[in-house]
Chain A
Amino acid sequence: MASKTSRDVLSRGLGVLRQAIREQPRIFAVAVVGSVLFGGMIIVSARVVGTVVGEVALPAISRREVGTGTLALAAAALFGISVLRVAGIIGRRLGAGYMQYRLQASYRRRVTRRYLELPLSWHHRNSTGTLLSNANSDVEAAWYPIAPLPFAVGTLVMLVGAIVSLFATDWALALVGLAVFPALFALNVVYSRRMAPRQARAQRLRAEVSGIAHESFDGALVVKTMGREAQETARFAGRAGELRDSLIAVGRLRGVFDPLLETLPSIGTLAVLVVGAFRLRQGAISVTELVSVAFLFTVLAFPVRAIGWVLAELPRSVAGWDRVRRVLDATGEMPYGQRVLDSAGTLGPATLTFSDVHFSYPPAEAHQPGAQVLGEVGFTVPAGRTVALVGPTGAGKSTIASLAVRLVDPDSGTVCLDGVDVRELTAASLAGTVALVAQVPFVFDDTVRANISLDRPGIDDEAVWAALRLAEADGFVAALPDGLDTMVGERGTSLSGGQRQRLTLARALAGRPRLLVLDDATSAVDPRVEAAILAGLRSSTAEPGVPAASILVVAYRRATIALADEVIYVEQGRVVARGTHSELLATVPGYVDLVTAYEQAEVERAQESPYGDEVAPLPSGLEIEVDR
């Protein structure tokens, strides 16, 4: 069974190599020609060395007289062979290297393109680490055998040439070659076969060690505040120990085979000496031929290793290729439609309609049912209106927000913008119509300006500053050392949470969306700042008092809710109630519990408190103003 699977790996590995050759045939041809030239020159050089010893040196030394012409010719031949070998090396290595790097680049491009095309639901099913290594180390592993491949092909040609040249010399010496070369080849194959699983295990453990380090350092604050450094170290040390043992196992195998692979050709040379001496006595060969063959055995040992390198890398290559193919063959793209809304850019706020939307997240494992997150969700955000989405933690609010901007598609039901199913819209029209500000802000490792404009057309510095002003972010951005040109660092680490939120808010506003979806997007912003932002959002910059966009806002804060024309209350993935804030307050107990939680707590505290009558008076005027 094991040999069956390894044969399978071999044939599939060769399939991957075929694919590589199909994609880069010309450069591969250059490399192979170089390699064959190199191999041919090795055989020729052995002949020349033998000839120099037997035909030039031997007579010269025995006659005690040197022919300058012959000597110069011999020297020129040896140097000339070197020059040709250099040409071979250049062709082979340049070809192999360029081929490998081109394939890598080409597949990295294809894999990352696929990431951009595949839907978010696919992204959710794959960890960040997996996707990173698919595009990086898996692509690299898939094309790793390409580097020694031309050398190996050239070596195969050279081995055939060597055997032929041996038979042309002497059948007895050829038999030595027929014994040694296949043995050398077989030893290489056995070595690669044995090494591959050990290498794979080391590679897997390396990834696991790296995974632990990543996670542990990501959670460094938790580890620190709970004093769990020793336990985390023990967890890491356990896996690092396994890695150490697997690397020692790799090393021991190397210790067995490396010296053997070196000794075998030496044994061959010794056999040539013995057999050659016999044949010399029989007068079947000359000293020239004896030295040629002995030299050939010495110089052949190294190139034969190249075949072993290719074979050794095949299992890794197949594994990497499978993972790359899994990305390239993944289906379930969310194709965009053909329709365009508001091509002239003249329409006002958009209308958002959810009709009988069901949604479940795909299960973690195929045989399990997916967790249903939303059921029978229906509501409308009329043009120019603000609708608040309210519900307890885990009710499905963020999912509704994702559906509204088509980050995910519903299982059934429709999400429409201005009456058009979002699935029928072009990517550009969709992105130009709606904007989502997510709960957890994401910023790119780029300048403030690039983070806001995202190179979208028509967003100049003036528009960027206008958006920043609206998001109440102009103050801190102006105070940054390089203003708009300030680099925000990896994941925006140089900014505070509230600052990141305001940047992402400004990013959304800069595109002048006709529908703005805010998913609890001001949670890290102080109440006073939030109030100012919301006030700004309610009126357009051009015409005060006229809303520029419809707004769907996920909110807990009552001031936010109070700004809404309508409130949709969700619980466990269903719309439980909808109406104005005061209607819901009067009729829906769950809603009351949620939005008046702070007041109730205060009232209860006041009742418990011995100084209950000293509770701060509520500024009643404010309440009227907000609830209007």
Chain B
Amino acid sequence: MSTSVTSEKTSETAEKQETTWQTLRRGLALSPELRTGLAGTLLLALVYMVGRVAVPVAVQQGIDRGIVGGLNLDVVWSVVAITALILTITTICGYLMMRRLFTVSETALANVRTRAFRHVHDLSMLHQQSERRGSLVSRVTSDVDQITQFLQWGGVILLVNLGQLVVTTAVMLAYSWQLTLVVLVAFLPAVFVIRQLQRRLGTAYATVRQRTGTLLGTIGESVVGAPVIRAYGIAGRTARRLDEAIDAQRVAQQRAIRISIVGSSVGELAAGLALAGVVVLGVTLGVDGTLSIGQLTAFLFLVTLFIQPVQIATEVLNEAQNAIAGWRRVLDVLDVAPDVADPGEQGRKLPGGPLDVRFAGVRFAYPGGPPVLHDIDLEIPAKSRVAVVGETGSGKTTFAKLLTRLMDPSAGAVLLSGVPLAEVRFDSLRSRVVMVPQDGFLFDATVGDNVRFARPELTDEQLSAAFTELGLSDWLEGLPAGLDTPVGERGEALSVGERQLVALARAYVADPDLLVLDEATSAVDPATEVRLQRTLDAVTRGRTTLAIAHRLSTAQAADEVIVVDRGRVVQRGPHDELVRDADSVYGLLYASWLEQTR
């Protein structure tokens, strides 16, 4: 828990390094569609704001020319009629302004959302895994939501109120510069205090967000870990942790609202001060003959119009800051250059036919970590079936990831049929090279839909045929609804082994020329595994397959075994040959395997 707190803190401070304007510029550069018709929208907004000061001006005109000093109903009538006309126009302009604003901004933000989504998928596996999953999801959900919600609510308020502040000040100045000065002086300390408070409010809201994150994590753990909590009878401990997280969030929320209340109280007091000042000075000026009674009345109305924006500003500016921070986080994701990038149009296609593999001086280390693979030089001929074996942590999975270009080597190159992987276009690579990861992740859909993931055009008949070819038709028929059986969230309605079967079928129908299996059948029972192995052998004949395995049955069936130990290839050759040296790494692994299975 302590680490997550500190990382949140550092990200908060990192956020502060870029100013709001820089973020806005960067955001506008990324979404030029936001500028569409901006001038027109601003013009409409300006007209809309004029409506706000129409009533005080009408009150002044009506009182001065139609009421005080001789009642003249005709003047009152015409003042009211003109003002009503102005209000009609400004109301329509308000509607048009909002309509344009929302259409443009929502469209632009939906595009940003979709681009960020795509970009996350384009990031390398390492990068994806270095982020908490939830935080990547936030980039395309809550962060963007925060921006749109702000625009819908606070954004308009902010825009209109800023305008109101300007227009009101202008009208006040037109009536009396002395009274305007009084109002400004009354508000000056409030503005200063509110600025200070706003900074503290920002920190307070940041704490709320961070504690909400912790709370969500704690709730998530209590839900996902329900079996463990029950099995170990630790409901009491879990409840305590939940209570702590819930209360911590509540305390932070209460603190934030206290600061916010101080802000609006200060604004309110300033308003009282301004009103009192205007009355005292206004009457004095009126006695001197420089201010009419209508102007004084209008001023009292204008002061309330002046208060509103200042009071609302505390709240809205904070929302604005949150929205900007959200935008910044989205932009930051979009700005990360994918470190394993698709060469795209400039790239090459893989040559047709079976693929051979070459590792040329390949070295690999995780960022900031010790080397995992050292100077691997090796060739795998086309159509051969190769098993990579080694103890946990020997680097064998790294092989699979380099071969499928989930990661790039730190030095050296991996070549497929002579083409360096880094030059291969992803559409070519992903359709010809398919990996089955150990965790058979399934989407919340039917078995059939999961299998046709890579090739949506396949019919149910073709899918059934594929299961039959893999020798899995009995299993499929045993499911409640065959291909239409829903697999549940992450495939959890199926057993772990069954998920692997579906994942394997999914890779099989993708029809790759190079199939990489990363312990793809580790949770399947031995009889099924052996059966699968044999059918896979048959159906992948003519293609290149590379299987990462700790069940050595896979190695025995392979044309060649590559033995990895501490990041180096220490042995290679057919199983029968390797096993002769009983003291070799493979010999020992095999002895242990026999001990386990015989």
Contact = CB atoms under 8 A, between A and B. Distances in A.
Interface string A230-264: 01110011001101100110111011101110110
B297 to A, nearest CB: 5
B13 interface: no
A112 B62 contact: no
Contacts of A104: 250
Contact of A302 (B308, B429, B490): B308
B80 A65 contact: no
Interface in A192-238: 206, 209-210, 213-229, 231-233, 236-237
B454 A228 contact: yes
B495 A394 contact: yes
B367 interface: no
Contact of A65 (B217, B253, B287): B287
A120 B90 CA distance: 60
For this complex, into which size category does the number of interface residues on chain A fall? 35 or more
Contacts of A487: 1-3
A215 B443 contact: yes
Interface in A5-29: none
Interface string A598-621: 111110010000010011101100
A79 B273 contact: yes
Contacts of B284: 66, 71
B84 A216 contact: no
Interface stretch (A95-103, A150-158, A376-384): A95-103
Given A49-B300, A97-B254, A128 B224 contact: yes
A270 B58 contact: yes
A33 B334 CA distance: 50
Contact of B478 (A85, A131, A394): A394
A623 interface: yes
B597 A558 contact: yes
B171 interface: no
A190 interface: no
Given A49-B300, A445-B217, A432 B233 contact: yes
B237 interface: yes
Interface string A111-128: 011011100100100011
A597 B246 CA distance: 53
A181 to B, nearest CB: 17
Contacts of A213: 117, 137, 140-141
A89 B404 CA distance: 63
B280 A75 contact: yes
B94 A393 contact: no
A227 B63 CA distance: 74
A267 B429 contact: no
Interface in B106-125: 106-107, 109-110, 113-114, 117-118, 120-122, 125
A543 interface: no
Contacts of B140: 209, 213, 236
A391 interface: yes
Contact of B156 (A97, A258, A407): A258
Interface stretch (B28-36, B66-74, B408-416, B539-547): B66-74
Nearest to A297: B55
B132 A490 contact: yes
A187 interface: no
Interface in A253-301: 254-256, 258-260, 262-263, 266-267, 269-270, 273-274, 277-278, 280-281, 287, 290-291, 294-295, 298-299
A10 to B, nearest CB: 23
Given A218-B490, A221-B125, A605-B557, A611 B431 contact: no
Interface string B374-408: 00000000000000000111000000000010100
Nearest to B435: A225
Contacts of A524: 392, 522
Interface in B76-115: 76-77, 79-80, 83-84, 87, 90-92, 94-99, 101-103, 106-107, 109-110, 113-114
A227 B576 contact: no
Nearest to B136: A217
A52 B279 contact: yes
Interface stretch (A170-178, A345-353, A410-418, A433-441): A433-441
B67 A287 contact: yes
Nearest to B456: A231
Nearest to B308: A302
A442 B225 contact: yes
Contacts of A428: 233
Given A394-B478, A496-B392, A64 B289 contact: yes
B279 A57 contact: yes
Interface in A551-590: 556-560
Interface in B234-290: 234-235, 237-239, 242-243, 246-247, 249-250, 253-254, 257-258, 260-261, 264-265, 268-269, 271-273, 275-277, 279-280, 282-284, 286-287, 289
A495 B257 CA distance: 41
A104 B233 CA distance: 27
B480 interface: yes
Contacts of A431: 231-234
Contacts of B95: 255-256, 259
Given A135-B219, A558-B596, A601-B553, A113 B239 contact: yes
B226 A120 contact: yes
A393 B498 contact: yes
B469 interface: no
A145 B247 CA distance: 21
A474 to B, nearest CB: 15
Task: Output the residue of B501, B580, B594 with the most chain A CB within 10 A.
Answer: B594
Contacts of B162: none
Given A66-B283, A101-B250, A393-B498, A252 B427 contact: no
Contacts of A131: 219, 223
Give the 7 A-B CB pairs with smallest separation, nearest first.
A82-B272, A227-B430, A251-B102, A431-B233, A255-B98, A259-B94, A244-B110
12 contacts: A53-B296, A101-B254, A108-B215, A227-B454, A232-B121, A248-B102, A254-B156, A259-B91, A280-B71, A526-B391, A531-B592, A597-B529
Given A57-B286, A128-B489, A273-B59, 9 more contacts: A57-B283, A61-B293, A101-B254, A105-B249, A210-B141, A219-B442, A427-B235, A438-B227, A493-B129
